[in-house]
Amino acid sequence: MAGPLTLKASSYPTTSATMEGLRELSTAELRDYIAHIITSEFEGVTGSPPTADLTVTAANGTLNTTNYNNIGTFTDRYRADGVGVHPTAGAFSTDVYTFGQNKQTATESHSVRPLRWNGTDVIEMTDAEIRSEIIDEVINAMVFEDDNTTGQYKIGQTTPSGGTWTSRGEVLDTQVDGTSVTYYLWQKTAPTTTPSTNRDRPVTTDADGSVREMTDAETKALTPMFRNRIMSTGIGTYLLDSTTPTATGTWAQMGTTMTDQLKDTATYAYAGSYSGSYTGYYDRYFSGYLNGSYAGSYTGSYTGYYSGLTVITTATTQETKQLFIRTA
């Protein structure tokens, strides 16, 4: 076999007394502490380029397409008149929210390289080997939501379970009955469980050739490679769609479904009153001939019925959208 190496010991943390040599990291071990360190660095919002992966514009906002790929939109439709208003023309407005994924290329700069066993010797890993043997496993750990990872995104009205989730934006489904539904773009910013810091760390060599464990800072330096690998392979990218995307790859829904509801209108008959003044003439004969006229005013009420559209409490679904992540 061949692959990245770690310290082998009779017990951990490793000491000179427990040290037994080197061993290859298993797939599960690669997805343990290393994945925790890199994804925790990845989910931060600082750096150049910023490491925040997804964004959503404000209603009718403009996506920065220099930095982000447009991965889909959600449209909120709502009536111009509130529930119960009549007569209504039935007009409605739209607010469009645009989702984007960071497409910027990160600068890769890692002076410390992990060691691997190539079947014959212990050697430093090349960039291609780091990508295929370490980074790809870290990406798999994140997209399949291993408990020790962070950085994933979900859609939901409430905070997702497991770990800590931070809102990175929100979308409204506006109701015109005095309420609205808010959907949040959540990012996992703390793991469900934190792995042990005492084992499963990659190893490297010092200038004198001695073998040692890589520090957290040295492992974090692989994060730019992690970001670039997501964009080059497509695994770990997102799409917003009404059904499972037909784009290349395997896709999994992240969170709940966003639904746009538009209040219905219906025709109803309504009673109304009308009050007005009238002027008329009175003409009558008496014994003999008397011809005269009488002018006067009459005021009264008239109750009648008319029909018209009304905004009612029921609603019809206009569109549904889900957030999907590519897992393979």
Which pLDDT tens digit goes with each residue over 115-125? 999 999 999 99
Which pLDDT tens digit goes with each residue over 187-221? 999 999 999 888 899 999 998 888 999 999 999 99
Q: What is the mean pLDDT of residues 65-77?
A: 96
Which pLDDT tens digit goes with each residue over 134-158? 999 999 999 999 999 999 999 999 9
Residue 302 in this model has a pLDDT that exceeds 60: no
Determine which helix (DSSP H) or strand (DSSP E) holds 307, and give its type and residue range. Answer: strand 296-326
For 12, 15, 30, 71, 241, the CA distances from 18, given in Å and listed in that order, are 8, 5, 22, 51, 53
Q: Write down the domain spans for the chain.
A: 1-51+106-150+197-236, 267-310
Q: What is the mean pLDDT of residues 311-322?
A: 96
Which pLDDT tens digit goes with each residue over 8-26? 888 888 887 888 899 999 9
Confidence at 308, pLDDT banded by 50, 70, 90: confident
In the chain, % of residues over pLDDT 70? 86
Phi-psi region of 163 (alpha: psi -120 to 50; beta: other; left: phi over 0): left
Six-digit token string for 33 = 């502490």
Q: What is residue 275's predicted lDDT score, i.e. its pLDDT?
A: 53
Which pLDDT tens digit goes with each residue over 265-279? 999 876 655 555 555
Q: Whole-model pTM?
A: 0.86
260 forms bridges with which residues in the sheet?
Answer: 319
In the chain, % of residues over pLDDT 90? 72
Q: What is the DSSP letter of 255?
A: B
Q: What is the mean pLDDT of residues 148-173?
A: 96
Q: What is residue 282's predicted lDDT score, i.e. its pLDDT?
A: 47
Identify whether the C-beta of residue 325 lies closer than 8 Å to the C-beta of residue 152.
yes
Q: Tell me the pLDDT of the chain averaged across its residues.
A: 88
